[in-house]
A = this chain, B = another copy of it.
Amino acid sequence: MRKHRSSLGTLLHHVHVSGPLSRAALAERMGVNRSTILALTAELVAAGLVTEEHPAGTTGAGRPSLVVRPSPDVFVLAFDVAVDHLTAARVGLGGAVLDRRSARRTRTGVDLDTVVRKLACLGRELLDAAPAGSICAGVGASYCGMIRPGDGMVRYGPEMGWVDQAFGAELAKTLDIGRPVAVGNEAHLGALAEFERGAGVGVPNLIYLHGDVGVGGGILVGGRLLGGDGGYGCEVGHMLVNPADGRPCLCGSRGCLEAETGEHALLAAAGRLHGQIGADAVRAVARDALAGDPAAAAAVAEIGDWLGIGVANLINLFNPGVVIFGGMLRDVYTAAAPHVAARIARHAMPVSRERTRLTVSALAADTTLLGAADLGFAALLNDPVQEFKAARTTP
């Protein structure tokens, strides 16, 4: 029974991540015969989770393998709580963002109630705009802080000044659609999203570094997220890299990786602290550096230097197959790559770095949002038929 449930989930996971697949391709990927695929697909079709159709362009001649497609009527609500913005999206089975709403937010002093009410409002708008007959199969949220697994409690969210705030439970209550909200740290979810459908597909030892004003990390070891004892691993941003004269960090320490490579450090180094801030300002520094602006280039060199030290340390510790730069670090890395590479050459062991590839996020601005969506889909993919039956009967 459990094995069958798991096979259904595996098949659905394949079409969720890869899009439409022929029965033959599914049989090959899952290592089962075509009659098994036929039976599993039939059950998922009956449940309303996938459809089957003849491949495009085929005529009646021969018997082409039917193509299994994720149902267009199944979606999750995905929320992304970043330092500068709140996003809510309807993401379909298959991973497409079907609809989205965003709101800017102020950086500090925002209380739980305000954030939760705003998110719930965006979520409601999306549900109201969803086509008749479509089904919300789950809810996932990405948050820029340390999250307790299981109940989505924000243990520590320095940018918002949150300590032990019951974010997941409160959002579920306020959203009030009869479904729990699964919450994860933004960089953790970003790592999983890049592993599933981004720049790290098939790379089980993967490091994802996410710039969102500060710097977060998601690290996969042997294909699994490094959780640690309580689920609080991967706090890359608070690795001390500059003990001698480090910049102050929001965490209370000085010289943390995020203090030396985050948005504030870059804008300060470029002499642009008094102008525009945020992702656009970071992008502008990176662009100007590449265009030859001396102050911007010096800032990128300085930040790239610290970033390279951090990445070299991670390479020594994790011997990763790939290091992926996402969020604001996508722009920073694009401009600072030579400085990062120089530090890695100097401080990472040759054996540790010999096969490590460095690249930028393939999912761009949607990495954490798609990670949140996958978290929302997790229960469905674990037990498709039962979960979907439950989703259909909630209001």
Interface residues of A, Cβ cutoff 8 Å to B: 146, 155-156, 205, 217, 219, 221-222, 224, 226-236, 238-245, 251, 253, 256, 309, 312-314, 316-321, 346-352, 354-356
**Contact between chains at B316 and A238 (CB < 8 Å):** yes
**Contact between chains at B243 and A309 (CB < 8 Å):** yes
User: How long is the Cα–Cα vector from A217 to B241 in the complex, in angstroms?
Assistant: 19
Say what secondary structure dominates the interface of chain A. loop
Also in contact, A317 and B236, with CB within 8 A (given A155-B351, A243-B242, A244-B244): yes
**Contact between chains at A240 and B318 (CB < 8 Å):** no
CB distance from A355 to the nearest CB of B (A): 6
User: How long is the Cα–Cα vector from A146 to B316 in the complex, in angstroms?
Assistant: 11
Which of A155, A229, A244 counts the most chain B CB atoms within 10 A? Answer: A229
**Contact between chains at A227 and B346 (CB < 8 Å):** no
| Residues of the B chain whose Cβ atoms lie less than 8 Å from the Cβ of A256 | 347
| Residues of the B chain whose Cβ atoms lie less than 8 Å from the Cβ of A319 | 227-233, 235
Within the oligomer, what is the number of copies of this chain?
2
Question: A312 touches which one: B240, B314, B321 (CB < 8 A)?
Answer: B240
Question: A226 touches which one: B227, B235, B309, B318 (CB < 8 A)?
Answer: B318
Question: A349 touches which one: B146, B241, B314, B354 (CB < 8 A)?
Answer: B146
Question: In the complex, which residue of chain B has the Cβ closest to the Cβ of A356?
Answer: B229
CB distance from A206 to the nearest CB of B (A): 9
**Contact between chains at A244 and B243 (CB < 8 Å):** yes
**Contact between chains at A251 and B146 (CB < 8 Å):** no
| Residues of the B chain whose Cβ atoms lie less than 8 Å from the Cβ of A226 | 221, 317-318
Question: In the complex, which residue of chain B has the Cβ closest to the Cβ of A245?
Answer: B244
**Contact between chains at B230 and A351 (CB < 8 Å):** yes
Question: In the complex, which residue of chain B has the Cβ closest to the Cβ of A256?
Answer: B347
User: How long is the Cα–Cα vector from A69 to B101 in the complex, in angstroms?
Assistant: 66
| Residues of the B chain whose Cβ atoms lie less than 8 Å from the Cβ of A347 | 238, 240, 253, 256
User: How long is the Cα–Cα vector from A222 to B230 in the complex, in angstroms?
Assistant: 11
| Residues of the B chain whose Cβ atoms lie less than 8 Å from the Cβ of A233 | 205, 317-319, 352
User: How long is the Cα–Cα vector from A190 to B99 in the complex, in angstroms?
Assistant: 52
Question: In the complex, which residue of chain B has the Cβ closest to the Cβ of A351?
Answer: B155
Also in contact, A205 and B221, with CB within 8 A (given A240-B241, A241-B243, A347-B238): no
